[in-house]
Structure 1
Amino acid sequence: MEPYISVRNVSHVYPNGVTAIKDIDLDIFENEVVAILGSNGSGKTTLVKHFNGLLMPTKGEVIVGDLNTRKERIAKLSSLVGYVFQNPNHQTFLPKVSQELAYGCKNLKMSEEETEERVRKAIELFQLQDILDENPFDLNSSQRKEVAMASIMAISPQVIVLDEPTTGQDHKGCIRVLELVRMFQRHGHIVILITHDMHLIGELNCRTVVMHQSEKIADDQADTVFADRGIMAEAGLQPPQITSLANGLSYVEENKTYLTIHSVLKLMKEKNEEGIKIGSRS
C-alpha cells in the first residue's frame, strides 16, 4: 500500500541557523490517526507544517498524494491537508459563522453550488444550525474550535491536522474532540494530532510518533510507546495517569499497558470475579 504522505530524509534549518528537524523519514497511510508527541521545541510542529507547504524542507522531500510540496502552491496543498490551529482565533476572522464555513471553499474557487453543498454537510455534521448568524468571537472556546474544524471539514481535505485540539477545553470539550477525531476517521480522513494530551492519545490508542531534539525516536501504537520507559524518559513524557495507576496494581501483567479507565475497571471487575484480592505492588 502506498503512503498518502511520504517524508523522505527531511531536515529543516530556520534562517537563524536552528535545526528544527533532522533526517526525518515518515510514511502516513489512508485512514490513519497519527499523534505527534514531543516536548516544546522537539520539532513536532515544524514537521507537520511541511505537510501543507507552510514550510519547505531544507533537505529531503515531502510527497502528499502524488504532489511534491516543493513544486506546489500552498493553496493547492491546503485542499489536501487542512490545518486547524491551536487557537481558533488565528483562523477565524469573518463576522458570521456561515461566512467562515464557506470561506475556504470560495478561496479554492469552488462553484456556488458545490460550496453550498459542502457547507450544508459541515453544518449537519457539527450541528451548527443554531449559531450560523453568530460572530465566532462571541462564541465560547469549544464552539469556536468546532467552527474552525467545520470550516476545514467543508473543504474536505484528505488530511486533517489538529494542533493541540484539547488546549483550553473543559472535560466536555475534550470528550467532544475525541468524538470528532473518530468522526473524521469514519468519514475516511487521515487525522494528525499535534498534542501533549496523553489522555486523548490513550483513549484513541492510535499510532504515536515521538519527537525529541529534532529527531524521530519512536513510531508505534500508543500502548507500545507508553510502555517503553526508556523512550518516555528520553522524551520527557509521562503516560496517562491511569496507565501509571494500573502499573501499580499487583495483578497487572508487566508486558501489558492499560490506557483508559474503562480498561482498568474491566480488569478489576474480572479479577474480583476470580476472587483475586485487589492491591498495589509493594
Structure 2
Amino acid sequence: MAEIRLDHVSFTYPDGTKAVDNLTLSVPAGQRVAIVGQNGAGKTTAVKLMNGLLKPTEGDVYVGDWNTKEHTTAQVSRKVGYVFQNPDDQIFHNDVESEVRFGPKNMGYDEDRVDELSEWAMKLCGVFDEREENPYNLPYSTRKFVTIASVLAMDSDVIILDEPTAGQDKTGLNLLANMLEELEKRGKTVITITHDMEFVTEHFERIVVMANRRLIADESADTVFYNAEVLDESMLKPPAVANMASLLGIDGGLLTKPQLITAILKNIHP
C-alpha cells in the first residue's frame, strides 16, 4: 500500500493561474481523508497532482517511493484511482459491465481476476443488476456508481472520490457508507473532495481545509468545525449539529445528533 506525499508543491496553469501554492501534505496508507473548501480553493488540482493527471510546477509528489515526475499518468493511475465529479466525463462504453471490466483488463489481470474484481465492484456499488444496461440509460446518481465501480475494479491502493454525494439520495448515501467500510477493511486509502459537511463528519476523522490555493487546516472534524477562524477564511458552513451546538452555547466539539441530545439533556438536568 502506498503513502501519498506532497512536498512543497505548487502548480500554475499555462495561462499563469496559480492553483496550488506551496502545499505540503502526507496521507498514510489506509487512511480516510476529506479535502474541503470553496470552489477555487485548489482541491481538484491537488488531487489531480496526486494521481499524475498534473505534474507539479514546483516541489514533488510521491506515491510510495515513486516521484510522479518520473512516471506516466497511466503508471501512476495504477496506484491511485480517480473518480471524476461528473460521470459523463469518464464513461465511454455501451454497457455497465464493459465499462467496469475495462480498467482491470487494461492492467493485464487474467480473466478470472477481471471477473472477480468486476463482480465485486459492481455489487459493492449496487450496479450488478444493471450490468447489461447502457450507462447513459441510467440516472445520474447510478452513473456515478458505475464510474466508482470502474475505478474500484482496478484494485488501486488509493481511491480519490470527487464529490461522491452529489445527486445521491438516502440509498446512494448508504451505498457510499458501506463502500467506505469495505475499502477500509481492504486497507485502501480514500481521499474525497466534497462540499457535503454532514457526509464528512459521519465518515472522515481527518479533515484537510484549503482556501486561496493553500492548506489552512489539517485536523479532526471536531476541531475544524469549531474553529471560527478556519471556517471564516474557508467560507465553510459547519454541519447542522455543530451549528446548533454553537447557537446553544454548548462546547465540546459535538458532531452527531445523539451527542447534541445528550448535551442538551445534561444542561437541562445537570
TM-score tier by shorter-chain length is over 0.9
Could you tell me which residue of structure 1 aligns to residue 62 of structure 2?
63
Q: Quote the offset at 1:270 in angstroms.
A: 5.2
For 1:165, the equivalent position in structure 2 comes to 164
Give the structure 1 partner of residue 213 of structure 2: 214
What is the deviation of 1:54? 0.4
Aligned to 2:121: 122
Separation in structure 1 between the aligned mates of residue 170 and residue 99 of structure 2, nearest angstrom: 26
Q: Is the counterpart of residue 258 in structure 1 residue 254 in structure 2? A: yes
Instruction: Map residues 97-246 of structure 1 onto 2, 5 A cutoff.
Output: 97-246=96-245
Q: Give secondary structure in 2 for the equivalent of 1:155.
A: coil
Deviant stretches of 4+, over 6 Å: none
1:36–1:195 Cα contact (<8 Å) kept = yes
**Hey, what's the Cα distance between the residues in 2 that align with 1:262 and 1:204?**
16
For structure 1, which segment, 16-25 or 197-206, has the greater mean C-alpha deviation from structure 2 after superposition?
197-206
Matched to 2:9, the amino acid is: V
User: Residue 75 of structure 1 contacts residue 108 of structure 1 at CA under 8 Å; is this kept in 2?
Assistant: no
Whole-Å separation in 1 of the counterparts to 2:128 and 2:83: 21
Change (3 A) 1:191 1:101: same
Match of 1:249 in 2: 248
Tell me the distance in 1 between the aligned counterparts of 2:235 and 2:118.
42
| Amino acid of the structure 2 residue aligned with 1:8 | D
Whichever residue aligns with residue 180 of structure 1, its letter is M
How far off its partner does 1:271 sit? 5.3
Q: Secondary structure at the match of 1:267?
A: helix
Moved more, 227-236 or 258-267: 258-267
Q: Would the alpha carbon gap of residues 260 and 205 (structure 1) be closer, same or farther in structure 2, given more than 3 Å must change?
A: farther
From the superposition, tell whether residues 262 and 140 of structure 1 become closer, same or farther in structure 2 (CA, over 3 Å). farther
* Contact preservation (8 Å) 2:19, 2:45: yes
| Range moving further from structure 2, 182-191 or 32-41 | 182-191
Give the Å deviation of 1:259: 1.4
CA contact (8 A) 2:8 2:60 kept: yes
The whole-number CA distance in structure 2 between the counterparts of 1:53 and 1:10 is: 13
SS in 2 for 1:49: helix
* AA partner of residue 254 (structure 2): Y
CA positional deviation for 1:207: 0.6
* AA aligned opposite 1:245: M
Letter in 1 for 2:41: S
Q: Is the 8 A contact 1:3 1:27 kept in 2?
A: no
Unaligned regions of 5+ residues in structure 1, if any? Answer: 277-282
SS in 1 for 2:232: helix
Q: TM-score, normalised by structure 1?
A: 0.90
Deviations 1:214-268 (A, max 9, x none): 1111101111111110111011111102211122235x2x2x1111223223434
* 2:19 is equivalent to residue 20 of structure 1: yes
The TM-score normalised by the length of structure 2 is 0.94
Match of 1:267 among 247, 254, 263: 263
Q: Deviations over 1:176-220 (max 9, x none)?
A: 323322332222111101111111111124211111111111101
* Alpha-carbon distance, 1:111 to partner: 2.3
Distance 1:222 1:139 in 2: 35
Q: What is the rounded CA distance, in whole Å, between the counterparts of 1:187 and 1:271 in structure 2?
A: 42
Instruction: Report SS of the residue matched to 1:193.
Output: strand
Whichever residue aligns with residue 203 of structure 1, its letter is E
CA distance in 2, matches of 1:216, 1:244: 23
Structure 2: 5+ residue runs without aligned partners?
none
Aligned counterparts of 2:220 and 2:29: Cα–Cα separation in 1: 16
Is the 2:160–2:191 contact (alpha carbons within 8 Å) kept by the matching residues of 1?
yes
> Aligned partners of 1:262 and 1:67: how far apart in 2?
44
Identity %: 39
1:52 aligns with 2:51: yes
